């Protein structure tokens, strides 16, 4: 959640930053109205409380002077009721403000380029040169079916569209990739954790998926439990409502999970193949750290994901997302896009984001900074999306006869 005190103190500046991210002016106006309503409610309460304090002092005077206190007591009792009502109104106004603030995205950093959508993202650098083929490269679904690695029709038969089943080497490669990525991340200082695939509403609110993206989540009927859209949710919330010691930070973690998304806003996009599935495997990086070290940790996370792609011999590029393509909770994001020769384009395979203290405010994750408790910074990123990595291996490693060369670093994981 954005800093409400900062918003109240410098509304125009914060509004200007949120406008860069596409926040509607009517939402900002509503926020301002909620602030004014809360301010008015506080003023009424403080006035009534001051009157209550003054009348309490009068009791002492009346008793010393032997005056009749019946009229004063009646006034005090009436004012008590007004104070009680004022407290309730103030609470309601505070809840209304916070509920609206939960729908407001994070402010973008000043370094984030302005732009409307992904077409305005800025390429930072390219890593490895795409291979030149002396034949027309096939797309991954052709290669998967030809080699018997993935069966899309059986996925639909046992579930619905956007599900698939891996067989043989396809299944073994997925497992090899998961183990390779976890080992790689652990060697880079990220502690491996294993977390539930179901989380409660509070956890999803903490990392910003709720309330805005509820339509994209799978909910367990009759329970306030949801299938996770990413390991970012359970891993970040491991420390929700806690106060950490500064010497415990940074906490750097990595986790493998299956992820579940309805892809409600992706109708008609990537309907073939494994690019956009309802269930997919992913290895995630999550960091919890202090504000002064979060950018250094962010750089480490980007390097870690990029180095995995390099080790897998996959050409890719690093992209700085513009304001129009920036995620709800992100202050800034670097995307890693892998080259897919079958599609003849780069496609996103990882997003590394620094959310600053946005998630920490929602999840109440703090650290002890001297005598003060302050909010941590949280960071997250894919390292990597397993299905998309398998897609990239198939398309970049393909031969003219349809066979696929396996990256050398995976061979020990396959007993090759």
Please count the helices (runs of H) and the strands (runs of E) in the chain: 12, 15
How many beta carbons lie within 10 A of that of residue 39, not counting itself? 11
Q: Of 58, 96, 348, 374, which residue is the catalytic one?
A: 348
Residue 317 annotated as catalytic: no
Structural element, H or E, at residue 150: strand 150-151
Q: Of 188, 252, 366, 388, which residue is the catalytic one?
A: 388
SS3 state at 68: coil
Beta bridge partners of 81: none
**Torsion, Cα of 346, 343, 330, 332 (10° steps):** 20
DSSP letters, 115-149, are: -SSGGG-EEEEEESPPPPPSS-PPPHHHHHHHHTS
Q: Of 351, 353, 382, 383, which residue is the catalytic one?
A: 351
How many beta carbons lie within 10 A of that of residue 266, not counting itself? 14
Q: Of 201, 276, 347, 374, which residue is the catalytic one?
A: 276
Q: Are strands 316-320 and 372-375 parallel, antiparallel or unpaired?
A: unpaired
Q: Of 252, 261, 317, 362, which residue is the catalytic one?
A: 261
Q: Name the residue with tokens 């609110």.
A: 205
- Per the CB < 8 A criterion, the answer to whether 374 and 282 are in contact is no
Structure letter (DSSP) for residue 114: P
Residue 70 annotated as catalytic: no
Burial class (CB in 10 A: 0-12, 13-18, 19+), 53: exposed
List the structure tokens of 174.
């997925």
Residue 388 annotated as catalytic: yes
Q: Which residues are catalytic?
A: 261, 276, 348, 351, 388
């Amino acid at each position: 959640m954005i800093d409400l005190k900062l918003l109240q103190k410098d509304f125009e500046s914060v509004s200007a930053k949120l406008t860069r991210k596409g926040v509607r002016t009517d939402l900002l106006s509503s926020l301002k109205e909620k602030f004014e309503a809360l301010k008015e409610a506080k003023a009424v309460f403080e006035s009534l409380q001051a009157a209550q304090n003054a009348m309490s002092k009068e009791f002492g005077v009346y008793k010393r002077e032997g005056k009749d206190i019946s009229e004063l007591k009646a006034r005090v009792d009436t004012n008590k009721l007004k104070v009680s009502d004022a407290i309730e109104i103030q609470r309601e106004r505070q809840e209304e403000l916070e509920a609206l603030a939960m729908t407001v995205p994070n402010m973008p950093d000043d370094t984030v380029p302005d732009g409307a959508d992904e077409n305005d993202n800025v390429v930072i650098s390219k890593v490895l040169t795409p291979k030149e083929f002396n034949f027309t490269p096939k797309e991954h679904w052709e290669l998967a079916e030809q080699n018997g690695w993935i069966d899309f029709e059986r996925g639909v038969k046992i579930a619905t569209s956007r599900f698939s089943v891996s067989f043989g080497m396809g299944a073994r490669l997925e497992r090899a990739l998961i183990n390779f990525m976890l080992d790689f991340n652990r060697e880079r200082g990220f502690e491996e954790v294993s977390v539930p695939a179901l989380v409660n509403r509070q956890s999803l609110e903490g990392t910003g998926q709720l309330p805005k993206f509820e339509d994209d989540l799978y909910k367990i009927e009759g329970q306030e439990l949801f299938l996770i859209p990413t390991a970012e949710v359970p891993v970040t919330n491991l420390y929700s409502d806690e106060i950490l010691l500064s010497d415990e930070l940074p906490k750097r973690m990595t986790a493998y999970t299956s992820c579940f998304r309805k892809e409600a806003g992706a109708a008609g996009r990537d309907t073939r193949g494994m690019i956009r599935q309802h269930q997919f495997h992913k290895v995630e990086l999550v960091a919890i750290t202090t504000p002064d070290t979060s950018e250094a940790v962010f750089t480490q996370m980007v390097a870690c994901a990029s180095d995995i792609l390099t080790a897998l011999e996959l050409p890719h590029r690093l992209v700085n997302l513009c304001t129009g393509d920036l995620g709800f909770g992100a202050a800034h994001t670097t995307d890693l896009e892998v080259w897919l020769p079958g599609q003849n384009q780069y496609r996103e395979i990882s997003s590394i984001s620094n959310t600053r203290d946005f998630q920490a405010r929602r999840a109440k994750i703090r650290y002890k900074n001297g005598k003060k408790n302050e909010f941590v910074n949280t960071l997250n990123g894919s390292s990597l999306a397993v299905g998309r990595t398998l897609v990239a291996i198939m398309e970049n490693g393909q031969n003219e006869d349809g066979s696929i060369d396996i990256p050398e670093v995976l061979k020990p994981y396959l007993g090759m």
